[in-house]
Structure 1
């Protein structure tokens, strides 16, 4: 029996066991995982350095190396996010709704685990822990399929978590890492309907599209982020500059970083904003109006408006109204996170009503689109689709429901 089927079989059996576990039992396991991550930090970092060195030798971009890298501080933050999960309300068993029918049947819909979650992701070893612990807290078993570029890191993290599970009330078989990262095995994984209940791809547009196109297992789609900041003509100068800088430069390699800034043509502080971006090391690719006015703005191409740069690069465009900004974002955006900086309630409302995206902001950075920042704990991903879940996906997003019907001998006539 090959690795994929063997591990999928173990997960399927474990999922029935997981559905019976109590909140206290799941929280105990999570705390053991968090402690183990801290204790095993040196071994995890050593494994990660193997991936980092291979990435450097392969010429990985700085943005990819940043996503791949683990540090002591990052592992501490990952472990703390696991501990925070234990403080969150367990969604399993929640009564979503209840009623009594005219025939006296008492019906309640309750929240239950999805079952076996297949997680497909790229060079983000933190996702290994985030996905595993979120799934366990929600009563799911999980099959992790990371990328070859993070294999040493993922193996080390999974080994630490499975060792912790062996000391816990949860079955250690409920967590599996698919070490065969070939495309052929991945393609087979996408069609394991007998074993997997859902697939969640997390990564670049190519990965997500591949899973959507090839999978017969239902897909809970996450999305890439071509996020915009629209600076309205009424925007306060320093607020707008601070938000634009934070959204672009705080961590440019992640999906909630801003990739484009739209500036109302009547906003009087264009020069100060562009100078601040330039000073921060951002390459600004502007429309004809901006490129002709400012020496450090280079001319944008049509491709730049739809680009997820994931780097210190930003497209910039002058617009004449909120309506024009909304139209541009709906054309080039990826339905992820969009922000308006404005002192106008009317323009903010128009922006909120007009844009089709998972998360919309007024006077705040798009960098807050994150499960932890939303109070969900570690996130499984950010959904830009419209079915089942949308936006940062926490515990409830990886559950489903079932209906319990209690009668007293009713039969249907």
Structure 2
């Protein structure tokens, strides 16, 4: 019978396996989230469409440099096709091309090429900022989950303490006041646990708003040695940021485009040369007293035209001044951006140094708080400390645990902020995949 029992057990396991897997939570790492966002995020897709539009604009500018080849045909028929009003059918092909003598069309093509580069830099900037938001949301969830663990441990400790107080009350060594205090502290700890669990749900909702992921998911933390052992200097961060940030390079590209646009607008002061070459086949048919007559005529012609605007009421001057103003705006935007990035680097560096110092002191604080709680707990067992001392020691321990947990995640986020500030976050996160 044993083989049949084994087979039955095996079939039951197979039958319930799909249901077990259906309720399994999807696990994501930071790099998987970044890969999903880089592929599916609508904000990034919008920036990619802007890049695509810039690429199509280049094709439009290039088409102006290629002669236009057209075919045409016309037919005119009269009720009375006399010699003065003959039936005429004309068909032919035509080649047309026009250009400005200073190469305006080539300048426009160069502007579109630089616009593509500018859009690519804009895409990189949007990607980096978006992935930074995902990283912050990711570590916010991990921090919130750690707070839940701390709250659960606190509830367990206070449960044990309440039971210990209950035993002492039962034997008469403590009054019910101590029990009420223990119960109140336990209720407060349970409330803190509920708030911590709600914080996890809120943090997960924020992440789901950024990335399209399953509703039921967990996060897997992968230790990154580069983040734990990160070192930098303020001068090095500033230098790297001012030379590598996509926003800086994008604004520099906008200045180049503005300068080229000024040259493009000044092209209106130059003559425009137009060239047209065509081949036509004309057939004329009419009736006369001697009968009907037909006449076929083939022609080929080339026409050149040079045009120059003598006076436009100040239109060209106003357009050039607008282009010059746009160039000045771009230069001012660069100055503002550089100051902002320098300020951003200083803030990120100070935050990193602050969290480093906090971690060193908080480790000592946590060790002291843990030893203090164990000592007071031992004293309480032997009647050398009361319930208030236990509550104070527990509060000190929970506060130390929360502070060091918060500082650890703030340290990682501060490192990521520095990497972002330097313009290296995008390759740093995507290379991990």
After TM superposition, the score normalised by the length of structure 2 is: 0.23
After TM superposition, the score normalised by the length of structure 1 is: 0.24
Structure in which a larger fraction of residues adopt strand: 1
Higher Cα radius of gyration? 2
Higher RCO (CA 8 Å, separation ≥ 6 residues) = 2
Structure in which a larger fraction of residues adopt helix: 2
